Amino acid sequence: MDIANQLAASFAAVCLTAQLASAALALPKCRAPREKARSPQRPPVTIVRPVCGLEPYSRETLGATFALDWPDYEIIFCVDDPRDPVVAIVNELIEAHPDARARLLSGFQRMSTNPKLDNMAKGWRMAQHDWIVFLDSNVSPPTDYLDRLFLAQDGAGCMVSAPPAGAAPCGFWSEVECCLLNAFQARVQYAADSLGFGFAQGKTLFFARRMLENGGFEALATEPAEDAAATRLMRKSGGKVRLAGPPFPQFLGRKSFMDVFSRQMRWARLRRATFPMLYLPEILVGLWPPLLAVMFLLAKLDLNTASFMSAGLAFAALWYVPELVLTHMAGWPLNWRSPLALLVRDLLLPMIYLTAFTGKQVVWHGVVVCSESDKAPFFRKATQRLKPFF
């Protein structure tokens, strides 16, 4: 076997091993729970929910905050514009739960390039308790949400986060987003967490107020995305980021191709801007790089067309088995269209990756969060940005 064949075979084998290992590592935390979690410690907690615009299932998702099984917690909703249509839903929910300690704060004050963080700052300033959760408006917390966060604590300097799990898809492109959020992103994040390399995601950020004593809340504004800043802050201080599991549901509803692509493109550009050297190898993720290596090897054999295609399909089936098993065991959406959605997802991944290099801006709800001019040239800070991880 010549060097090209050896490299192709080794690459395909390493990728397939990583696919199998990541699913196995993620499964313990992603598996659907058989019973509710119960934390031995249950101190008072402040939940800050930034809201902006109407989303699928806004009423159900925001309303779930009032049903948590926890003895003492307050809810602070934050909105920039008091005329935002979501305000009516928030006010109705507050009025429907008079016994809950809940309020809505409105108003805008520019603190950073991150409009979501600026919105959250109001809740941080008004929080009455030492334990604080920032919970995105499109994540639906289960009744044992706070129990799961406290059980994921790993030492006094630990910040807890959690990725979302796509739920309630409506239409094919919504199912593709489920494949992106669940069997791909959640799988990778929980596998990394199990190896001690957990990183924060802004859907849920849970920590003690004292963790931001050095630099204050403004420390989360040092990066375009607050979760990247939180991860870097924990690494720098010697603390940890751990993930609570299973991931909390994000009800998707109906999505178009552009809904899915634009959101994934925004996240990719933020990853590229904040952790550039970690972003570079993302071009190798998904089915197509190892499948191309396998097809290269098969082309060297004297196979007829049917055998050639059958061997390629067999590798693709083997590749997706771990993801399908994980999806089933986790109780995530799964049906006869799921294999096709996985294939389409993996076709999108290189498109999303390349778009992150060609784009100039990251736009969220019409506001520029990050532009190319805000950052030094790509490779100049690359090595420096990796230092907190080593």
Question: Minimal CA–CA distance to 222: which of 240, 234, 238?
Answer: 234
User: Tell me, what's the pLDDT at 380?
Assistant: 39
Q: What is the domain extent for residue 300?
A: 1-390
| Per-residue pLDDT tens over the stretch 101-141 | 999 999 888 877 788 888 999 999 999 999 999 999 999 99
Burial 218-227 (b: 16+ CB within 10 A, else e): ebbbebbbbb
CA-to-CA distance for 199 and 267, rounded, in angstroms? 14
| Per-residue pLDDT tens over the stretch 199-255 | 898 899 999 988 877 667 788 888 878 888 888 888 888 888 999 989 999 999 999
As beta bridge partners, residue 104 has 77
pTM: 0.88
Residue 73 belongs to what H/E stretch?
strand 73-79
Per the CB < 8 A criterion, the answer to whether 239 and 158 are in contact is: yes
Per the CB < 8 A criterion, the answer to whether 226 and 116 are in contact is: yes
Q: How many CA atoms lie within 13 A of 134 on its CB side?
A: 27
Dihedral of CA 297/300/303/306: which sign? positive
User: Tell me, what's the pLDDT at 369?
Assistant: 54
Per the CB < 8 A criterion, the answer to whether 329 and 31 are in contact is: yes
State the average pLDDT for the chain: 88
Q: For residue 214, give the amino acid letter.
A: N
pLDDT-derived band at 1 (thresholds 50, 70, 90) equals: low
| Per-residue pLDDT tens over the stretch 327-341 | 999 999 999 999 999
CA dihedral 163, 195, 294, 342 (to 10 degrees): -10
Indicate which CATH number applies to the domain containing 40.
3.90.550.10
CA dihedral 58, 61, 65, 67 (to 10 degrees): 120
Spatial neighbors of 225 by CB under 8 A, at least 6 apart, are 114, 202, 270, 274, 369
Q: Is the pLDDT of residue 278 over 60?
A: yes
User: Tell me, what's the pLDDT at 272?
Assistant: 87
Q: For residue 291, give the amino acid letter.
A: L
DSSP state letter for 185: I
pLDDT-derived band at 375 (thresholds 50, 70, 90) equals: very low
**What does the block give as tokens for 39?**
């934390």
Contacts 24+ apart (CB under 8 A), 350-353: 350/283, 350/286, 350/288, 351/261, 352/261, 352/264, 352/265, 352/268, 353/268, 353/282, 353/283
As for how many domains the chain has, the answer is: 1
Per the CB < 8 A criterion, the answer to whether 300 and 137 are in contact is: no
Per the CB < 8 A criterion, the answer to whether 246 and 26 are in contact is: no
Mean pLDDT of 74-82: 95
